[in-house]
């Protein structure tokens, strides 16, 4: 009962998360419109108007705050267009005291992604500037590094799945273990996909479906790494919507995949229940051939 | 001689890469591999959908027990959103408007060709594993042969095949001797040259070895018995039978059967496709019915729930299996011991192919043992794909045809039977029906009419997914399909001619 509640809760969180991503994606092209050309370094009233149009929440920010925040960002090496993108994506930043913004920058700098890549990351996901606990950030980044290998890989990983920062080590560990040991997928492929921002249940469901269709065979351990595998790539499995996954990757109809999801969830549930219960009740099961 | 053998052996060893690396295969893996290979070529791209469905939980139909609180159970089911199949059929009947579309099963289909290809490929593979050296020479011949036009292999496929096999064997042996001659050995090491090599004509310990390709040879396309098709247009749904299920795409479950006031259980759950054979058998009041391979008793119970059979004989090969049926009957039938056992239900323990009360049944349900595809890919215990049961598995079609041919003899003239399997294999389905019809005609002079069920399955098209009847010769088949995960179930209706 509790477990079901938990799963429902997780799904809701996931839906909210996706909606956010969706809004962001919609905004992205508009942000470029709002952004001033590179050489034009001054913040003008027209920029602010455009930004307010894109994100009405910004209308509450007084002129003085705009200027103050703008200067802080400029001092840290960001240009006007990047600043505007961050402001549109995360209006709360403008209202923060100067020191807090600087701290956030310093914390991120300590991850050593390099100035250019860091700005790319922060403008893509302005929410990342909300960090306040530097220690926790460093701990988490160094944890990500344990399986990603290099700083650059950690950066790539965050570019694809920024919500890794909010997931517990335990949950990430579970997913990496599943991807590496059951699906036998190598780290470079994991990094290129959004797999780690999906819940383990979804990854497993899609993987098992492909396996039962006969479309996914785990690579043999001794296989030549240069030999391309016939399996669909991980990004095709995890970065797709239900419909695209069913029709373009699995080549089945959507209702077949939906039926499978329902049946598979029940199958897992039953396996768990069976493991909990004693085998003594086996005889009382109502189902027969 | 020994050295050449070990050379061949070494080659084989190098060829099979998994030899050293992989652990032992489980029976379900073995079954799946065999299906991937065989069904992949029979069903083409549709196989992957079927495969996923087979590996996933199947869907049930509930048979409401008339001896329990039937009304209460029905209400409960309807409250849960289940469909009453009886009302569904009524709706479809209105929709079809009784305008009979006549379509006799096409005898010309691609299945024959497909199976022929499977056979060739399997033979090829076996030859290669036995005689790896001769593989090069072989393929060219094989290719030429399969490129030949279809009429050729329809007429003399059997003879041609065997001859080909013998020819290739000889050729392989010849190649081996050449190989032996070409290897010169320094005379100081050996006394006898290898030119004295005697090719092996028997492999020790493999005296009763059956190659896998023999299995596919059971499917013959050659007809020399009278064959008549007749379209079945009448279908009566028995008034007393109450079946419930969910529509396509709805994967809800039924509650577990409850004990009713009468002491009997409220409903029986079984794979949805299993209700079709007893329904299409069209049992009339007062019929004497035989269930030739009855365990575990689900289909027998359905026939009893119609209350039509005068007597129902449940036959099975083992007493332990009969006991399972007895248990089911006791659980589901009120007053079973006093009023039913040995009066309206008789038990008979016998191999169905040796039953000898000829011409004594109106209706027979022949639900033969088969590779039980769904079971084979999911359960490891007592799996038919176990390596120790290989001989049994490859000879299944023979057993099935024997049972079916014998059941045709048990029918009264004019009586009808349903042959059913839960396998997708055309060898065990159409192939066996063909073999049995031939056998019954050749040995006992019995002729039968094949009842074409393609019209009456239309009543069920809203809940089942059927195989396109252009692909099948004699019967119909329910395909596993995720949103309606029933079956597989093949059934074919035969009527013994007067």
Give dist(CA A42, CA A162) in Å, integer. Answer: 30
Domain segments of chain A as ranges: 1-24+241-289, 34-132, 136-222
Q: What is the interface size between A and B, counted as CB pairs within 8 Å?
A: 72
Q: Is B33 on the interface with A (CB under 8 A)?
A: no
Q: Does B246 touch chain A (CB under 8 A)?
A: no
Q: What is the pLDDT of residue B135?
A: 44
What are the structure tokens assigned to B322, written together?
Answer: 């009969």
Which tokens belong to B472?
Answer: 């099948």
The reported pLDDT for the residue numbered A224 is 81
- The binding site of B consists of 293-299, 316, 351, 367
Residues 6+ apart with CB under 8 A from B386: B27
Rounded CA separation A116/A79 (Å) = 12
Query: Does residue A255 have a pLDDT over 90?
Result: yes
Closest chain B C-alpha to A279 CA, distance in angstroms: 17
Both tokens assigned to B453: 């069920």
Q: Residue A46 — pLDDT band, cuts 50, 70, 90?
A: confident
CA separation (Å) from A225 to A149, A178, A186, A228, B172?
19, 20, 10, 8, 38
Rounded Cα distance between A84 and A87, Å, is 5
Tell me the CA distances in angstroms from A51 to A66, B100, B229, one per residue in order. 11, 69, 77
Partners of A259 on chain B (C-beta within 8 Å) are 249, 251, 482-483, 485
In 3D, which of B80, B61, B74, B70 has the Cα closest to residue B260?
B70
Whether chain A has a CB inside 8 Å of the CB on B420: the answer is no
Nearest to B52 by CA among A258, A236, A232: A258
Confidence of residue A277 (pLDDT cuts 50, 70, 90): confident
Distance from CA of B269 to the nearest CA of A (A): 6
Per residue of chain B (498 residues), give pLDDT as tens. Answer: 444 444 444 444 444 444 444 567 899 999 999 999 999 999 999 999 999 999 999 999 999 999 988 999 999 999 999 999 999 999 988 888 755 544 444 445 577 788 888 888 888 888 887 776 544 444 444 444 444 443 344 444 444 445 555 566 677 777 666 666 655 556 566 555 556 666 777 667 665 667 777 778 888 878 888 888 999 888 889 999 999 999 998 989 999 999 988 889 999 999 999 999 999 999 999 999 999 999 889 999 999 999 999 999 999 999 999 999 999 999 999 888 888 888 899 999 999 999 998 999 999 999 999 999 999 999 998 899 988 888 899 889 999 999 999 999 999 999 999 999 999 999 999 999 999 999 999 999 999 999 999 989 999 998 999 998 888 889 999 999 999 999 899 999 999 998
SS3 label, residue B484:
strand
Sheet holding B60-64, edge to edge: B83-84, B243-245, B60-64, B267-271
Query: With contact defined as beta carbons under 8 Å apart, do B480 and B53 qualify?
Result: yes
Nearest to B112 by CA among B213, B215, B220, B35: B220
Interface touch A220/B21, C-beta < 8 Å: yes
Interface check for B379 against chain A (CB to CB < 8 A): the answer is no
Which CA distances in Å does A10 have to A170, A202, A266, A269, B320?
A: 15, 11, 17, 16, 49
The whole-number pLDDT of residue A12 equals 60
> How does strand B288-291 pair with strand B311-316?
parallel
Bridge partners of B416, per DSSP, are B363, B495
B209 secondary structure, DSSP code: -
Specify the pLDDT at position B487: 87
Give A37 or A185, the one with higher predicted confidence. A185
Which fold, B44-110+177-496? Rossmann fold (3.40.50)
H/E run at residue A101: helix A98-109
ipTM surpasses cut 0.90: no
Please, which residues bridge with residue B365 across strands?
A: B291, B418
- Supply angle C-alpha B239, B241, B244, rounded to 5: 125
B350 is catalytic: no
CB-CB: which of B251, B298, B375 is closest to A263?
B251
Instruction: List residues bridging with B363 in a β-sheet.
Output: B289, B416
Give the residue-averaged pLDDT of A99-118: 89
Decide if B413 contacts B476 (C-beta within 8 A).
no
pLDDT tens-digit map of A196-234: 999 999 999 999 999 999 999 988 888 787 788 889 999
Distance, in Å, from the CA atom of B316 to the CA atom of B342, rounded to the nearest integer, reads 16
Using an 8 Å Cβ cutoff, are B454 and B231 in contact? Answer: yes
- Residues B277-308: tens digit of each pLDDT: 999 999 999 999 999 999 889 999 999 999 99
Do you find a cis peptide bond into B488, omega within 30 degrees of 0?
A: yes
How does pLDDT run across B310-367, given as a tens digit for each residue? 999 999 999 999 999 999 999 999 888 888 888 899 999 999 999 998 999 999 999 9
pLDDT > 80? residue A13: no
Minimal CA–CA distance to B256: which of B487, B55, B76?
A: B76
Q: What is the reported pTM?
A: 0.79
């Amino acid at each position: 009962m509790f477990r079901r509640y938990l799963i429902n809760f997780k799904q809701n969180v996931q839906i909210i998360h996706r909606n956010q991503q969706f809004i962001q994606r919609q905004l992205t092209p508009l942000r470029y419109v709002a952004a001033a050309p590179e050489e034009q370094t001054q913040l003008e009233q027209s920029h602010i108007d455009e930004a307010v149009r894109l994100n009405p929440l910004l209308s509450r920010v007084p002129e003085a705050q705009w200027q103050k925040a703008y200067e802080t960002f400029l001092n840290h090496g960001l240009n006007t267009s990047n600043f505007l993108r961050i402001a549109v994506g995360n209006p709360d930043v403008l209202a923060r005291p100067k020191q807090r913004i600087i701290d956030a920058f310093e914390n991120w700098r300590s991850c050593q992604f390099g100035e250019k890549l860091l700005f790319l990351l922060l403008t893509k996901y302005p929410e990342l500037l909300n960090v306040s606990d530097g220690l926790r950030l460093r701990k988490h980044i160094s944890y990500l590094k344990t399986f990603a290998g290099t700083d650059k890989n950690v950066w790539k990983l965050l570019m694809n799945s920024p919500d890794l920062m909010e997931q517990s080590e335990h949950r990430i560990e579970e997913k990496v273990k599943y991807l590496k040991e059951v699906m036998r997928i190598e780290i470079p492929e994991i990094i290129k996909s959004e797999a780690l921002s999906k819940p383990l249940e979804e990854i497993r469901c899609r993987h098992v479906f492909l396996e039962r269709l006969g479309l996914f065979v785990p690579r043999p351990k001794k296989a030549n790494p240069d030999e391309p595998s016939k399996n669909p790539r991980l990004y095709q499995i995890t970065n797709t919507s239900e419909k695209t996954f069913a029709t373009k990757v699995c080549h089945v109809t959507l209702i077949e995949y939906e039926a499978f999801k329902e049946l598979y969830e029940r199958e897992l549930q039953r396996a768990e229940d069976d493991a909990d219960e004693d085998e003594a009740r086996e005889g009382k099961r109502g189902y027969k051939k | 001689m020994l050295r050449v053998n070990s050379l061949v052996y070494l080659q084989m060893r190098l060829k099979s890469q998994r030899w050293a690396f992989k652990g032992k295969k489980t029976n379900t893996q073995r079954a799946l591999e065999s299906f991937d290979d065989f069904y992949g070529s029979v069903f083409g791209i549709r196989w992957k959908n079927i495969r996923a469905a087979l590996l996933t939980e199947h869907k049930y139909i509930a048979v409401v027990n008339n001896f329990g609180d039937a009304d209460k159970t029905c209400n409960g089911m309807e409250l849960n959103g289940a469909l009453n199949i009886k009302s569904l059929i009524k709706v479809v009947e209105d929709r079809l408007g009784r305008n009979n579309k006549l379509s006799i099963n096409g005898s010309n289909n691609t299945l024959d060709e497909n199976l022929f290809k499977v056979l060739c490929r399997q033979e090829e593979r076996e030859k290669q594993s036995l005689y790896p050296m001769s593989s090069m020479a072989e393929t060219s011949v094989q290719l030429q042969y399969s490129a030949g036009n279809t009429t050729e292999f329809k007429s003399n496929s059997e003879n041609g095949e065997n001859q080909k096999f013998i020819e290739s064997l000889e050729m392989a042996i010849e190649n081996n001797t050449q190989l032996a001659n070409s290897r010169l050995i320094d005379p100081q090491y050996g006394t006898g040259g290898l030119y004295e090599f005697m090719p092996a004509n028997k492999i020790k310990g493999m005296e009763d070895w059956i190659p896998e390709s023999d299995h596919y040879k059971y499917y013959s396309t050659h007809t020399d018995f009278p064959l008549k098709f007749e379209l079945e247009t009448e279908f009566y749904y028995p008034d007393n039978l109450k079946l419930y299920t969910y529509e396509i795409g709805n994967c809800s479950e039924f509650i577990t059967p409850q004990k009713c006031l009468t002491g009997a259980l409220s409903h029986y759950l079984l794979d949805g496709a299993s209700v079709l054979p007893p329904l299409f058998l069209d049992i009339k009041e007062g019929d004497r019915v035989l269930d030739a391979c009855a365990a575990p008793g689900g289909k027998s119970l359905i026939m009893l729930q119609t209350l039509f059979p005068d007597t129902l004989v449940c036959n099975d090969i083992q007493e332990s299996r009969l006991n399972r049926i007895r248990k089911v009957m006791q659980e589901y039938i009120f007053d079973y011991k006093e009023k039913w056992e040995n009066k309206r239900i008789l038990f008979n323990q016998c191999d169905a192919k040796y039953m000898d009360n000829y011409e004594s049944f109106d209706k027979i349900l022949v639900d033969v043992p088969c590779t039980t595809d769904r079971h084979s890919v999911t359960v490891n215990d007592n799996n038919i794909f176990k390596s120790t049961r290989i001989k049994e598995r490859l000879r299944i079609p023979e057993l099935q045809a024997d049972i079916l041919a014998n059941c045709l003899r048990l029918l009264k003239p004019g009586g009808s039977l349903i042959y059913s399997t839960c396998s997708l294999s055309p060898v065990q389905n159409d192939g066996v029906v063909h073999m049995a019809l031939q056998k019954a005609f050749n040995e006992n002079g019995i002729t039968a009419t094949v009842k074409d069920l393609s019209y009456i399955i239309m009543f069920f098209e809203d809940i089942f997914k059927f195989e396109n009847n252009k692909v099948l010769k004699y019967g119909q088949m329910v395909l596993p399909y995720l949103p309606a995960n029933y079956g597989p179930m093949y059934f074919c209706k035969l009527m013994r001619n007067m």
